[in-house]
Each structure stands twice: as C-alpha cells, then as structure tokens.
Chain A
Amino acid sequence: DTAVSQTPKYLVTQMGNDKSIKCEQNLGHDTMYWYKQDSKKFLKIMFSYNNKELIINETVPNRFSPKSPDKAHLNLHINSLELGDSAVYFCASSQAPPMTGALSYEQYFGPGTRLTVT
C-alpha cells in the first residue's frame, strides 16, 4: 500500500515542452507539498496546499503551476521547460498543522520524479 505515489518516476523531455507530474496520497492528510531536489541534493519547498488551498508559494517561476483537484491529489504542471528545471521533484503530505503553537507533523514523501530536460 503506497502512502504517497507519484507518476511518472522518470521524465525526459526537451526544452520548451510542457509536462505534468501527478501525486496522490492515501493517508487522509489535509496538507500536501511539492519539493525540488537539485543536483547538489539541496531539497527546497516549492508549494504547499492545505485542503486544496495554496498556503505556501516559495517564489517559484510562474511556469510552475500546482493544481489540487481534491485534498488527496496535488499535481504539478510545468510550462516551457528549461535546462535548469532538471531535478528530482518530491511530493509529500502531512496532517494539517495547528494554526498556533509549535507542533509540526511528520511529512511523508513520495518516491520522487526524476526530470531531465535536454
């Protein structure tokens, strides 16, 4: 039983193309995320959605557009792909955090999508 799944696992495409990555979680979590891990292994948050509502957008180029049709899915669409977009993209989910207080919940990551732009 895969908790957080992503498709495709590998994606090779040419510059200028448009592509999508899909993510689904069956954990019943309210919050989902997209992260980018670059060639230097630096993992950085891109977006976060809580109950289908965008709550974090980390100054990502607007060529990247997340879409959450329901709270179990968070897809990432990328327009006009560039060489610098080559990376591993991880989807993650967690319980919704309390609006006050310091508690953070564990984030569960999908297996990643390795995107190569040529």
Chain B
Amino acid sequence: RKEVEQDPGPFNVPEGATVAFNCTYSNSASQSFFWYRQDCRKEPKLLMSVYSSGNEDGRFTAQLNRASQYISLLIRDSKLSDSATYLCVVNPSTGFQKLVFGTGTRLLVSP
C-alpha cells in the first residue's frame, strides 16, 4: 500500500464549480499534513497546511480526519487559474522533515 494515495484524475470542471479532492495516508503516526500545488513543468508550491480542526484560506478548505487517515481539499468557485496538479503531502515522522508526496490529482478548469 502506498504511503499517500490520491485519485490521479483528471477532474474536469467548469469555471465556478466546486470540486473536492481526497487523499488517504497509511501511517497512523503521521504528524503534519499539507496540500501543495504544482503547475505544469513547474516546481511544487505550498497551497496550505492541514490542521486537525480544519482550515480555510479564501476559496480553499482543507480537512483532516485522523481516525480514517483521510485528508480533503475543497475548492469553491473554481477559476481557470486553479488548473494544476494538487499534491497531498504527509510528514510521517517527528523531528526530521521527511515529506511523503502523493502522486497528485490533476484539475482542469474550463471556461
């Protein structure tokens, strides 16, 4: 079983739609969780951290369910510029920052 699993997509949605991505992780001792965004042929960039209580940043909402080992990202009112690959990222250890990346979910927002 992969340490971090995501549906690769692509998710094709029209502008203005709401879309949700899910991610599961295998290590129940994992401590830190993130969503990174990667545009085509670019480097990954942090989109948001994921906190146990859930957190929101503008149109983006992240949720963590430790019992189910599940992370989600909700994007409301999708924009064309949201088209990218969204990487679910987990730090399975304390101390050193060994981030484990999912393979990403590709989002395509069309006019």
Contact at B85–A48, with CB atoms within 8 Å?
no
Contact at B97–A94, with CB atoms within 8 Å?
yes
CA distance A41 to B85 in the complex (A): 10
Q: What is the total of A-B residue contacts with beta carbons within 8 Å?
A: 59
Contact at A90–B44, with CB atoms within 8 Å?
yes
Q: Which of A31, A109, A111 contacts B97 (CB 8 A)?
A: A31
Pick the most buried of A31, A42, A99, A102: most chain B CB atoms within 10 A of its CB. Answer: A102
How many positions in chain A have a CB within 8 Å of any CB in the partner chain? 29
Q: Return the chain B residue nearest A88 by Cβ.
A: B41
Residues of B within 8 A of A43 (CB): 44, 87, 101
CA distance A26 to B45 in the complex (A): 17
Residues of A within 8 A of B44 (CB): 43, 90, 109
List residues of chain A with CB under 8 Å of any chain B CB.
31, 33, 40-45, 48, 50, 55-56, 90, 94, 97-107, 109-112
The contact sample of 25 A-B pairs, CB cut-off 8 A, is A31-B97, A41-B85, A42-B103, A43-B44, A44-B101, A45-B98, A45-B99, A45-B100, A48-B96, A56-B96, A90-B43, A94-B97, A97-B95, A97-B97, A100-B95, A104-B31, A104-B32, A104-B97, A106-B49, A107-B97, A107-B99, A109-B43, A109-B44, A109-B45, A111-B43
